Chain A
Amino acid sequence: MGIITSHGAGVEANWEKIKAGESSVGEITAFDASPFRGRLGAEIRGDTHAPVSRLRAGRLDRASHLLIYAVREALGLAGLIKPGIDVFLSLGTTLGGMLSGAAFHREVIEKGISRARISKTLDYLAHYQALNLFREFGLTGDYAVFSDACASSANAIGHAFGLVSSGRYDVAIAGGYDTMSEFTFAGFNSLMAVTPEICRPFDKNRTGLILGEGAGILAIEELGHAIRRNARVYCEITGYGVASDAYHMTSPNPGGEGAANAMAMALKEAGFPDIGYINAHGTATKYNDLMEARAITKVFSSGNKGDVDIPVSSIKPMIGHLLGAAGAVEAVVSVAALIGNYLPANINYLTPDPDCNLSIVTVGRAAEIRAVLSNSFGFGGSNATLIFGEYR
């Protein structure tokens, strides 16, 4: 596993802060956020230039740097820095190299198109970052870059899981990445989705999301292949579900049918395991959280009100909503929760919402966890669910 977020670089650093319930949300520094309703974000501070040996660092978008950080950690921990076999690279992103594209477009606006530096577009398109990974790590094989809004990297992991479990590849590198950009910040502000205060998923007084940035990567390997080379097995991926709302581009289906279908599909594939923790999408927007609560209730309730006692939390108040990277980063945290037997807190939660009648984890605590379910939902009605089970 590999991860970089506003909490820092590395699985350990992130997990320690998540266990402690820390928030790394602060005033946006990447651009002038003062005209916007919400001005907070979860940025990665300090130098984010990843050490590269085969690429020209100055030509890389910030997205590539974050991705290289996470991939290097994941391959290092997996002992796969030089895989030596064909791999499938499965990534999710909403923006790709948007910062480079925006910089180019700004020059077009300010200087005219003929004077804008075309070199700024070299890492703009969303599949260029994947190709950069092939170059930097000497990979061969195939890749796919999913852009399914905020479900992008959950779908990327799910697809990689399918390819490995069906025997097409022994090893897949899967995850996602996104950067803090003025473009999306303005976009979510225009939709009135960004909170002007703190982010409090499932709280009755929730007022919106906080954007973040980062990357998360899983090295997914066929179990026998991993055992034969004495790799450390963190967990098993046991289920993946995907379904669409077919309802609205930006609003989720209020009844949560699509989300419930995704969860049901994943649970069926996993053999209906005993879910010990639900890592919720939990953006803290009014409509997402209501929809997700209804969907979880639909899937797990036996019909009696308030009978869903599976612990639920969203980590977005700590590290923000990472858009296309959210599913991957939350997958890493879900796996950490599973192997650490610890429930991360849904920080900032104060006032229960009777319409979101879930068992919210208000304070992080130890718990015996056999399986974790992680949800990701996005624009366009994308719904994806991953299930991770303990490796025994």
Chain B
Amino acid sequence: MIRLAVTGVGAISPAGVGAGALAEATALGRRVAAGHISETGLAVLRKLRRCATITSYAVTAVDEALRDRGAGGFGDYALIAGVTNGALNFSAGFHHTIVAEAKETASPALFSESVLNAPAGNASIVFNIRGPVHSIIGGPSVAVKALMLAATLIETGRARHAIVVCAEERNELSSFCYSRFNPSAAGALSEGAGALLIEPADELRPINPVTLCTISGYAAYTIPDRPQQALQRAIDGALSMAGLTVGDIGVAVSDYKTVQIDVPTLSFFDCLGYAFCVSTMWNIILSAMACGGGCPINPLFATELKKYAKHSEINHVIIYATEEDGDASAVILSRVSKP
């Protein structure tokens, strides 16, 4: 296994534009309003005037994650997008034309920007990424699966670096369905994007490399309708790959309501709301930033960790995700000793 490092992060969320805004909101335990993000502030989006909201979020997050690498030169990068619902507003708008208006007048732009790979396709165009560009679909576990796919592409030599992004946009239909399937969480639906830049830890180029953490282990597992069993397999797989035991893990981060392992477990659900696969990506980004802080007690987690006694040394963080359908994944991030 090639040792991989997280060297860039990017986010857009109801807390604002930037991973910093995400971290600030969660560190303060501030509940940010779940809602539409009206302004990304990204100049490059002028090129994408007709793109869907989800695409603008994805491009904004990717831009931030790539910024430390300098402009251009992304030809040998892979880009993996994790998506749950996709551009639902454009899809619904296009379908509304077909059903309620004249079919033959449906807008080609609405159609082409509604496809599930529109965020990844547009991001590849904006940043001139010519390596493998994939969109994979799933629930909250797909953020880790996207990271795993990126890792495979690097390990098999199909890409040298990879940007992993998850994006979602709020929509009337998804909000309605989510509230019907999850009545207790009604009103908590969120939106935005999160991106990670990952590359081989041993090949970092001397262009301001900011190694936030290494990726020690990951696994995904599916046992239909048995989420806890599937999650246990995923966690065990990630620990095994990392060569760690549960006792090595300082903190777990997950929005899954059932605590799966005996370590302090945090959730930012109450702060950021639920944005499907993006929530898991935000959890990964926040954990990477916490690891990258390089201090025993990172302010990012300090507020929540006050209630735990064992928080003075966090070297490894596990982030896990699952849903009732039994589709689970887990990833372990490890702190890097700074010279």
Does A380 lie within 8 Å of B111, measured CB to CB?
A: no
Given that A35-B103, A187-B111 are contacting pairs, would A249 and B180 also be in contact in the complex, using a CB cutoff of 8 Å? Answer: no
- A191–B108 contact, CB under 8 A? yes
How many residues of chain A have a CB within 8 Å of chain B? 64
- In the complex the two chains form, is A382's CB within 8 Å of B94's CB? no
Residues of A within 8 A of B325 (CB): 131
Instruction: From the candidates A35, A37, A146, A250, name the one contacting B136 in the complex (CB within 8 A).
Output: A146
Task: Mark B301-339 against chain A: 1 for CB-CB distance below 8 A, else 0.
Answer: 000000000000000000000000111000000000000
Bound Cα distance from A118 to B112, whole angstroms: 26
Contact B155 A146 (CB under 8 A): no
Whether B221 pairs with A96 at a CB distance below 8 angstroms is: no
A53 near B: Cβ within 8 Å?
Answer: no
Range, interface on chain B: 35 or more
**Contact A35 B102, beta carbon cutoff 8 Å:** yes
Q: Which of B79, B104, B133, B149 has the most CB of A within 10 A?
A: B133
A238 to chain B: closest CB distance in Å?
14
Chain B nearest CB, measured from A93 CB (Å)? 8
B95 touches A379 (CB 8 A): no
A85 to B107 alpha-carbon distance, docked (Å): 47
- Given A131-B327, A144-B145, A190–B83 Cβ distance below 8 Å? no
Residues of B within 8 A of A102 (CB): 95
CA distance A252 to B171 in the complex (A): 31
Q: Could you list 4 further interchain pairs (A-B, Cβ under 8 angstroms) beyond the known A113-B172, A159-B152?
A: A127-B327, A183-B94, A245-B130, A248-B125
A379 touching B117, Cβ below 8 Å: yes
**B115→A145 contact, CB < 8 A:** no
- B222: A residues at CB distance < 8 A: 131, 134, 139-143
- A243, B327: Cβ atoms under 8 Å? no
| Known A127-B139, A127-B327, A380-B124; contact A155-B134, beta-carbon cutoff 8 A | yes
Q: Which residues of B contact A (CB under 8 A)?
A: 79, 83-85, 91-92, 94-100, 102-104, 106-108, 111-118, 120-122, 124-125, 127-139, 142, 145, 149, 152, 155-156, 158, 172-173, 176-177, 180-181, 219-225, 325-327
> Are A190 and B108 touching (Cβ within 8 A)?
yes
Q: Whole-angstrom distance between the alpha carbons of A135 and B100 in the complex?
A: 37
Are B137 and A380 within 8 A (Cβ)? no
User: Is residue A330 within 8 Å, beta carbon to beta carbon, of the partner chain?
Assistant: no
Q: Judging by beta carbons under 8 Å apart, are A249 and B95 in contact?
A: no
Q: How far is the CA of A142 from the CA of B99 in the complex (A)?
A: 37
A380 touches B224 (CB 8 A): no
Is A261 an interface residue when CB atoms closer than 8 A count as contact? yes
Given the interface pairs A131-B327, A145-B138, the reply to whether A265 lies near B158 with Cβ below 8 Å is: yes
Whether A381 lies near B133 (C-beta < 8 A) is: yes
Interface-facing stretch out of A14-22, A104-112, A366-374: A104-112
Which A residues lie within 8 Å of B108 (CB)? Answer: 187, 190-192, 250
Whether, in the assembled complex, A247 has its beta carbon less than 8 Å from a beta carbon of chain B, the answer is: yes
Pair A249/B112 contact, Cβ less than 8 Å:
yes
Q: In the complex the two chains form, is B133's CB within 8 Å of A382's CB?
A: yes
Q: How far, in Å, is A230 (CB) from chain B's closest CB? A: 29
Which residues of B have CB within 8 Å of A110? 99
Q: Which residue of B lies closest to A91 (CB)?
A: B137
A186 beta carbon closer than 8 Å to chain B: yes
Q: Is the CB of B99 within 8 A of A109?
A: yes
Question: Quick check: B172 and A244 within 8 Å, CB to CB?
Answer: no
Query: Which of A139, A149, A186, A244 is in CB contact (< 8 Å) with B130?
Result: A244
Contacting B at CB under 8 A, from A243-260, are: 243-250, 258
The residues of A that contact B219 with a CB separation of less than 8 Å are: 142
A162 part of interface (Cβ distance < 8 Å): yes
Question: Do the beta carbons of A381 and B124 come within 8 Å of each other?
Answer: yes
Contact A36 B103 (CB under 8 A): yes
**A127–B158 contact, CB under 8 A?**
no
Residue contacts A-B, CB under 8 angstroms, 21 given:
A35-B104, A105-B95, A106-B99, A121-B177, A125-B85, A125-B139, A127-B142, A139-B222, A142-B220, A143-B327, A144-B138, A146-B135, A146-B136, A155-B132, A186-B104, A242-B158, A244-B131, A244-B133, A379-B121, A380-B120, A382-B121
